[in-house]
């Protein structure tokens, strides 16, 4: 775990240096997002399929090349970055890393001028040779008052062959995706039971 946290700290430091505060709403609702072959690393993002009905948000990420959990242990990270509060900086990070046996996901709350805090684990799963799926329940996040939407974008980082000084890839390249906060599922209205119907009076 300590080894993983050193990796997380490194990612956050790199992220903070990228100047990500310029957010432009790009799309609403369900999203299929392509990204160019624009980074030499193993984690060059190719496609993101975002899906959210009333339940958790899900990002299915695919890269141009294939990779294994062994390939990216301590060298590759994927971040889903969330702006939920309307503050000048991002509010949450989902950090996906490999512990050498499987992918693990950690949700961090960003603190401007302070230390990021761990909110908890999130569900991540390797998806084929070139992908990972990240799932975040909305109950783990705080949203700004009266906010009906949030922004997200994705950043990958890889250090290794072809990337001795670390390769970064961002999607969308310069924007964030605007996503409506789903309404809670409506509580089903119980059907009246037959016994609730008034019993007709017998005719005289």
Minimum Å gap between C-beta 14 and Ca ion is: 15
Give the total residue count for the chain.
Answer: 204
CA distance 50 to 29: 9
- Name which of 62 and 141 has its Cβ closer to Ca ion: 62
Binding site residues, Ca ion, CB under 5 A: 35, 38, 44-45, 169-171, 173
Instruction: Name which of 43 and 107 has its Cβ closer to Ca ion.
Output: 43
Closest to 98 in 3D by CA, of 138, 43, 38: 43
Of all residues in the shown chain, the one whose CB is closest to Ca ion is: 35
Minimum distance of Ca ion from residue 60's CB (angstroms): 15
CB of 92 to Ca ion, least distance (A): 21
Q: What distance in Å separates the CA atoms of residue 134 and residue 132, rounded to the nearest whole number?
A: 7
- C-beta of 45 vs 107, nearer to Ca ion: 45
- For Ca ion, the closer of residues 134 and 141 by Cβ is 134
Instruction: Find, among 107, 50, 55, the residue nearest to 82 by Cα.
Output: 107
Residue 35 CB, shortest distance to Ca ion, in Å, is 4
Both structure tokens of 42: 């193993």
CB of 121: closest distance to Ca ion in angstroms? Answer: 27
Token pair in block for residue 32:
């299929």
Nearer to Ca ion, 35 or 83 (CB): 35
In angstroms, rounded to a whole number, what is the distance separating the alpha carbons of residues 203 and 181?
A: 56
Task: CB nearer to Ca ion: give 24 or 54.
Answer: 24
**Cα gap 132→197, rounded to integer Å:** 53
CB of 110 to Ca ion, least distance (A): 22
Q: How far is residue 62's CA from residue 191's CA, in Å, rounded to a whole number? A: 45
Dist CA 50 CA 73 (whole Å): 25
């Amino acid at each position: 775990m300590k080894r993983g946290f050193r990796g997380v700290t490194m990612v956050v430091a790199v992220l903070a240096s990228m100047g990500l505060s310029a957010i432009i709403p790009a799309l609403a609702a369900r999203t299929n997002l392509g990204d160019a072959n624009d980074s030499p690393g193993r984690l060059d993002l190719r496609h993101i399929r975002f899906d959210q009905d009333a339940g958790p948000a899900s990002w299915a990420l695919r890269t141009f090349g294939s990779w294994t959990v062994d390939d990216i242990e301590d060298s590759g990270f994927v971040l889903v970055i969330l702006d939920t509060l309307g503050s000048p900086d991002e509010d949450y990070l989902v950090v996906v890393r490999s512990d050498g046996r499987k992918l693990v996901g950690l949700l961090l709350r960003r603190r401007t001028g302070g230390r990021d805090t761990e909110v908890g684990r999130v569900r991540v799963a390797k998806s084929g040779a070139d992908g990972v799926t990240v799932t975040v329940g909305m109950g783990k996040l705080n949203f700004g008052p009266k906010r009906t939407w949030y922004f997200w974008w994705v950043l990958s980082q890889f250090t290794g062959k072809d990337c001795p000084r670390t390769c970064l890839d961002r999607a969308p390249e310069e924007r964030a995706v605007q996503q409506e906060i789903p309404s809670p599922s409506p509580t089903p209205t119980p059907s009246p039971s037959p016994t609730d119907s008034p019993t007709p009076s017998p005719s005289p």
